[in-house]
Chain A
Amino acid sequence: MATPLKVNRIGLEPAAYKGGKTTLCAGCGHNAISERIVEAFYEMGVDPSRVVKLSGIGCSSKSPAYFLGSAHGFNAVHGRMPSVGTGAMLANRSLLAIGVSGDGDTGAIGIGQFVHLMRRNLPIIYVIEDNGCYGLTKGQFSPTADVGSRLKTGGVNELPPIDTCTLAIQLGATFVARSFSGDKKQLLSLLKAAIAHRGTVMLDVLSPCVTFNDHEGSTKSYAYVKEHDRVIEEVTFVPFFEDITIEHEPGTTQEVTLHDGSKLFLRKLGEEYDPTDKGGALQNLLDSERRGEISTGLLYIEPDRPDFIEQLNMVDEPLATLPLERVRPGREALAEIMDALL
């Protein structure tokens, strides 16, 4: 008899979480992110048939085809994935939505839908695969390009960048993090915590474009990001279904309990950082920008704010499957309406 295969808590093998073969460039940061997504959903034991994968247009937006092949996917129009994701979650609140966007798809054409998604606190994991350029159209600057960063073809960006994390925190997202495609451990912990969180997760992942933006003079190159990455805390995630206690010295670690009972242990590194303090989180982002550093880790979390579904006071069942008798008022209702109009 063959050795039993490795399975997760719902009895699925890792292969059940894989997607199609990537068509992105070899070494693209986005592929590393897809791998972490596969691991996170496997380790969390999420049923892939409950998941919807959404994206806009661009290199990043191709990646939902490369993970969770047994989930439904929707590659929407450029910059408009948030609205499609919103509709899908309103139709069926039992789904788990993960949207993948890029820095152009989010920061330029999609900035309008992005900011309104953040305001609503819709339950969705919104990942920006951030490389500061438009890869699919051969390397033009995107709105997250830093001042002074240089294109492969020589142009220098002089406009201030949009900081998607600052925006997300200001606008009401309840889980905001920044990570790096090259930091496997941090990214995996954050993705697993994102799955456990209820509300909008905005995860900006620096993901170097090895073809158009990985040269000297670019602030989004692998080497530059690695050198300027300042990890604000060490993130350890313990899902609700695992009975693990993390021992820590008093005062060294902050514990955050998520809605489903999962726990985040945030071990302090150097200076004080409290990710439940909105003002502090925004100040940290301003300070790190001034220092030319990139703060990564869980920047801000508000685990208990009602999500959009709760605010809309919707029934517990998915709206999409309500039977006709619950969505078509009876004869007496129509008679009452007509009577009022006579």
Chain B
Amino acid sequence: MSPTDLAVHDGQATSSRPRTVNDFSIQVATVNGSGSQTANLVLLRTLLLMGIPASGKNMFPSNIAGLPTWYTIRASRRGYIGRKKDVDFLVAMNPETAKEDVLTLEPGAAVVYDEPLKLNLLRSDLTFYPVPFDKLVAPVCPDAKLRRLVRNMIYDGILAKLLGIDRRLMEQALNKQLGKKAKAVALNAAALAAGWEYAEANLPKQDPFVFEAVPGAPQKILIDGNAAAAIGCMMAGVTVVAWYPITPSSSLCESLIGYMRKYRVDRATGKATFAIVQAEDEIASLGMVIGASWAGARAMTATSGPGISLMGEFTGLAYYAEVPAVIFDVQRVGPSTGLPTRTAQGDLLVTAFLSHGDTRHLLLIPASVDECYTMAMQAFDLAERFQTPVFVMMDLDLGMNNWECAPFAYPETAVDRGKRLDADTLKAIGEWGRYKDVDGDGIPWRTVPGDGMPPFFTRGSGHNPRAQYSERPDDYVQNVDRLRRKFETARGAMPAPEVDVAAGAAVGFIAYGTSHWAVAESRDQLREQEGLTTSYLRVRSYPFSGRIAEFIDAHERVYVVEQNRDAQLAQLLRLELTAAQIGKLRSVLHYSGLPIDARSVTADVLAQEGRK
């Protein structure tokens, strides 16, 4: 940018930064339970309507009302939708945190604040916009009880004016957000207008941050990963859902309930083509899923780490008795209760081997809301094809935050119900045994109650190929060896990694899930700012593809980026790599509970590369 882009200021504050278009972050500091979510989503939605790539991240406490909450909206010209560490524009609504929020800003940032807080006295290197929120809200909201909620929409109006947002677009976003609640729309629209008019009359623009509509930008939807996964489950034809409320997974099943009630009730009879049960705990949730899958239904549950721990025994049963199950793990920070409202990728190891004895499970690892949708559908196919539990490893950042995305594509293929015995197959294979490996792929043929095919006795105790109780050493060994063979068959059926090999690059990245967004951005930073070109492989499933070892072979140093303390993916990889390959692995670890950001990845890699 040319020096003439520098903002010109008259009077009080100065901004040291150049004019910045569509490439900055806004943080709203508020108190949870104050209804700021509507205002934040309206702002985010407005940016999408303008065609500006943007993402929203909510950092909230494990509490219903009264504790500090921060919502960050990041706009990025280049489409970076991971977290950005620095805040450029602060809306300080929470007296408790306002001082610290202001003191931690980088010079040149701007602050909209509640006038009585007098935050402008704290620093001279920021742009301050005082707003008398209480005075503004009173005339537009006669009902005093509602003022606490409505005053948030005032900052949307202020921001719209200050940042160059088309006011009509914001009203359109408000209508979308509140839908048919006409009274609420009118009230909030009035607040929005009050903010806009106040800013127009009293707050001359003094900061460098502006939004400009991007003509011809493709239309994007705004959705959280939990809702995306719920839509995937519905399109996969799920019929039985059992769940127990736990943050951050609850909204997956709650979204699913909403969609199923709307789209999965028979028009003619008014009856449901599904059963959704809120169970007494996570153990019962998985038990119901196993019972339903055993009887031939597509069944799922969703939980988080503490639920995964509880599901251990049942997971071993499903693995050993070979019953399909789809389990969404929306990961949060552990161990124990941990930080229940913060994000992590900390359940990888426990889930891969969940339960006692020799067990290995299939994992799908989505990085985007689109993958939450598609992998939800794949999970059911894989669970039925391989007659085993499949875990979809999401995390709080993906599951509960809103992400922009192209509208989801309708599934073009039928579902895979796996090897279900029918009369023709029975004739072809001759003698059927539930656990007999007829085809050499480790996957036996399966019957379910009521299908008219031969029955069998399902058990978690030792069994022979004919499903009879057995404690014979040879029966046990043959059975678990076949299970291992089945796992190897699955290796070829899991979603392949996404690989981008840069010609001549010595350094490679491996990442998975939401760490992807920080890595993608960090690679650009390293290339553009440090001249370091890197390759990248994004892991999308377990068991691992052979392409991972090839990727490591092709590079001198490989940085495995993940959001846990113990380098869980790297550990899991080491089990399958040679000593030479293991020697090339380095870890970049981020485990503060906040989503990983590109700048931290870049700094860590540069330090390990000896460049800084």
Q: A interface vs B, CB < 8 Å? A: 49-50, 52, 54, 64-65, 70-77, 80, 82-92, 94-95, 112-113, 116, 312-316, 318-322, 324, 326-329, 331, 333-334, 337-338, 341-342
Residues on the B chain within 8 Å of A312, using CB: 272, 275-277
Q: Are B239 and A319 in contact (CB under 8 A)?
A: yes
Q: Are B237 and A328 in contact (CB under 8 A)?
A: yes
Q: When A75-B457, A329-B263 are in contact, do A87 and B287 touch as well, CB less than 8 Å? A: yes
Residues on the A chain within 8 Å of B459, using CB: 73-75
Q: Are B221 and A341 in contact (CB under 8 A)?
A: yes
Interface-facing stretch out of B107-115, B197-205, B295-303, B482-490: B295-303
Q: Are B410 and A91 in contact (CB under 8 A)?
A: no
Can you pick out 16 interface pairs between chain A and chain B where the beta carbons lie within 8 Å of each other? A72-B457, A73-B458, A77-B314, A83-B284, A84-B287, A84-B288, A87-B294, A88-B294, A89-B291, A92-B449, A95-B295, A112-B281, A312-B276, A318-B296, A322-B237, A328-B234
Instruction: Out of B259, B264, B284, B291, name the residue touching A116 (CB < 8 Å).
Output: B284
- Bound-complex Cα distance A342 to B299 (A): 29
- Bound-complex Cα distance A50 to B461 (A): 24
Q: Are A72 and B263 in contact (CB under 8 A)?
A: no
For residue B348, CB closer than 8 A to chain A, the reply is no
17 further A-B pairs in the complex, CB-CB below 8 A; given A70-B455, A90-B288: A49-B449, A72-B455, A73-B457, A77-B314, A84-B290, A87-B299, A88-B294, A90-B291, A95-B449, A112-B281, A113-B284, A319-B239, A320-B295, A320-B450, A322-B237, A341-B221, A342-B221
Residues on the B chain within 8 Å of A320, using CB: 239, 292, 295-297, 448, 450
Residues on the A chain within 8 Å of B240, using CB: 87, 90-91, 319
By beta carbon, the residue of chain B nearest A333 is B263
Q: When A312-B272, A313-B271 are in contact, do A329 and B235 touch as well, CB less than 8 Å? A: yes
Q: Are B264 and A327 in contact (CB under 8 A)?
A: yes
Q: Are A319 and B235 in contact (CB under 8 A)?
A: no
Q: Are B407 and A74 in contact (CB under 8 A)?
A: no
Residues on the B chain within 8 Å of A52, using CB: 295, 449
- Bound-complex Cα distance A326 to B263 (A): 10
Q: Are B455 and A49 in contact (CB under 8 A)?
A: yes
Q: Are A65 and B277 in contact (CB under 8 A)?
A: no
For residue B476, CB closer than 8 A to chain A, the reply is no
Instruction: Out of B220, B235, B295, B414, name the residue touching A342 (CB < 8 Å).
Output: B220
Q: Are B449 and A72 in contact (CB under 8 A)?
A: yes
Q: Contact string, B410-425, partner A, CB cutoff 8 A, digits 1/0?
A: 1100110000000000
Instruction: Out of A94, A313, A334, name the residue touching B272 (CB < 8 Å).
Output: A313
Q: Contact string, B269-290, partner A, CB cutoff 8 A, digits 1/0?
A: 1111111110111011111111
Q: Contact string, B136-167, partner A, CB cutoff 8 A, digits 1/0?
A: 00000000000000000000000000000000
Q: Contact string, B17-40, partner A, CB cutoff 8 A, digits 1/0?
A: 000000000000000000000000
Query: What distance in Å separates the Cβ of B352 from its nearest Cβ neighbour in chain A?
Result: 21
Query: What distance in Å separates the Cβ of A259 from its nearest Cβ neighbour in chain B?
Result: 19
Q: When A72-B449, A318-B450, A338-B221 are in contact, do A86 and B291 touch as well, CB less than 8 Å? A: yes
- Bound-complex Cα distance A72 to B221 (A): 46
Residues on the B chain within 8 Å of A314, using CB: 271-275
Q: Are A49 and B450 in contact (CB under 8 A)?
A: yes
- Bound-complex Cα distance A318 to B299 (A): 14
- Bound-complex Cα distance A329 to B460 (A): 36
Which residues of B (383-421) have their CB < 8 Å from a CB of A?
Answer: 407-408, 410-411, 414-415
Residues on the A chain within 8 Å of B284, using CB: 80, 82-83, 86, 112-113, 116
Q: Are B299 and A341 in contact (CB under 8 A)?
A: no
Query: What distance in Å separates the Cβ of B517 from its nearest Cβ neighbour in chain A?
Result: 20
Residues on the A chain within 8 Å of B275, using CB: 90, 312, 314, 319
Residues on the B chain within 8 Å of A333, using CB: 263
Residues on the B chain within 8 Å of A315, using CB: 266, 269, 271-273
Query: What distance in Å separates the Cβ of B50 from its nearest Cβ neighbour in chain A?
Result: 13
Residues on the B chain within 8 Å of A74, using CB: 291, 294, 457-459
Which residues of B (363-386) have their CB < 8 Å from a CB of A?
Answer: none
Query: What distance in Å separates the Cβ of B268 from its nearest Cβ neighbour in chain A?
Result: 10
For residue B231, CB closer than 8 A to chain A, the reply is yes
For residue B223, CB closer than 8 A to chain A, the reply is yes
- Bound-complex Cα distance A337 to B272 (A): 19
Q: B interface vs A, CB < 8 Å? A: 176, 219-223, 231, 234-240, 242, 259, 263-264, 266, 269-277, 279-281, 283-299, 313-314, 317, 407-408, 410-411, 414-415, 447-450, 452, 455-461, 469
Q: Are B239 and A327 in contact (CB under 8 A)?
A: yes
Most buried by A among B235, B456, B459: B459
Residues on the A chain within 8 Å of B259, using CB: 337
Query: What distance in Å separates the Cβ of A78 from its nearest Cβ neighbour in chain B?
Result: 8
Q: Are B287 and A319 in contact (CB under 8 A)?
A: no
Residues on the A chain within 8 Å of B272, using CB: 312-315
Residues on the A chain within 8 Å of B410, using CB: 331, 334
Residues on the B chain within 8 Å of A64, using CB: 457
By beta carbon, the residue of chain B nearest A69 is B455
Q: Are A75 and B221 in contact (CB under 8 A)?
A: no
Q: Are B296 and A65 in contact (CB under 8 A)?
A: no
Residues on the B chain within 8 Å of A313, using CB: 270-272
Query: What distance in Å separates the Cβ of B48 from its nearest Cβ neighbour in chain A?
Result: 8
Instruction: Out of B235, B266, B452, B460, name the residue touching A76 (CB < 8 Å).
Output: B460
Residues on the A chain within 8 Å of B266, using CB: 315, 326
Residues on the A chain within 8 Å of B293, using CB: 87, 91
Q: Are B296 and A83 in contact (CB under 8 A)?
A: no
Instruction: Out of B235, B263, B290, B461, name the residue touching A75 (CB < 8 Å).
Output: B461
Which 5 A-B pairs rank lowest in CB-CB distance, beginning with the nearest?
A87-B291, A83-B287, A320-B296, A91-B297, A327-B237
Residues on the B chain within 8 Å of A326, using CB: 266, 273
By beta carbon, the residue of chain B nearest A55 is B459
Q: When A70-B455, A91-B296, A312-B275 are in contact, do A83 and B291 touch as well, CB less than 8 Å? A: yes
- Bound-complex Cα distance A315 to B458 (A): 27
Q: Are A95 and B297 in contact (CB under 8 A)?
A: no
Q: Are B411 and A328 in contact (CB under 8 A)?
A: yes
Query: What distance in Å separates the Cβ of B15 from its nearest Cβ neighbour in chain A?
Result: 34
Q: Are B317 and A91 in contact (CB under 8 A)?
A: no
By beta carbon, the residue of chain B nearest A54 is B291
Residues on the A chain within 8 Å of B317, using CB: 76-77
- Bound-complex Cα distance A135 to B589 (A): 51
Q: Are B291 and A84 in contact (CB under 8 A)?
A: yes
Q: Are B296 and A321 in contact (CB under 8 A)?
A: yes
- Bound-complex Cα distance A282 to B106 (A): 71
Query: What distance in Å separates the Cβ of A163 from its nearest Cβ neighbour in chain B?
Result: 21
Residues on the B chain within 8 Å of A319, using CB: 239-240, 273-275, 292, 297
Query: What distance in Å separates the Cβ of A326 from its nearest Cβ neighbour in chain B?
Result: 6
Q: When A314-B275, A315-B266, A315-B271 are in contact, do A338 and B295 touch as well, CB less than 8 Å? A: no
Q: Are B292 and A88 in contact (CB under 8 A)?
A: yes
Most buried by B among A89, A90, A329: A90
By beta carbon, the residue of chain A nearest B316 is A77
Q: Are A92 and B455 in contact (CB under 8 A)?
A: no
Instruction: Out of A77, A92, A316, name the residue touching B295 (CB < 8 Å).
Output: A92
Instruction: Out of A83, A92, A322, A328, name the residue touching B288 (CB < 8 Å).
Output: A83
Most buried by A among B297, B314, B449: B449
Q: Are A329 and B234 in contact (CB under 8 A)?
A: yes
- Bound-complex Cα distance A284 to B460 (A): 40
Q: When A49-B455, A316-B271, A318-B450 are in contact, do A87 and B242 touch as well, CB less than 8 Å? A: yes
Query: What distance in Å separates the Cβ of A188 from its nearest Cβ neighbour in chain B?
Result: 24
Q: Are B297 and A113 in contact (CB under 8 A)?
A: no
Q: Are A342 and B239 in contact (CB under 8 A)?
A: no
Q: Are A76 and B287 in contact (CB under 8 A)?
A: yes
Residues on the A chain within 8 Å of B238, using CB: 327
- Bound-complex Cα distance A88 to B410 (A): 30
Query: What distance in Å separates the Cβ of B396 from its nearest Cβ neighbour in chain A?
Result: 20
Q: Are A324 and B237 in contact (CB under 8 A)?
A: yes
Q: Are B408 and A85 in contact (CB under 8 A)?
A: no
Q: When A314-B275, A319-B239 are in contact, do A83 and B234 touch as well, CB less than 8 Å? A: no
Query: What distance in Å separates the Cβ of B7 from its nearest Cβ neighbour in chain A?
Result: 33
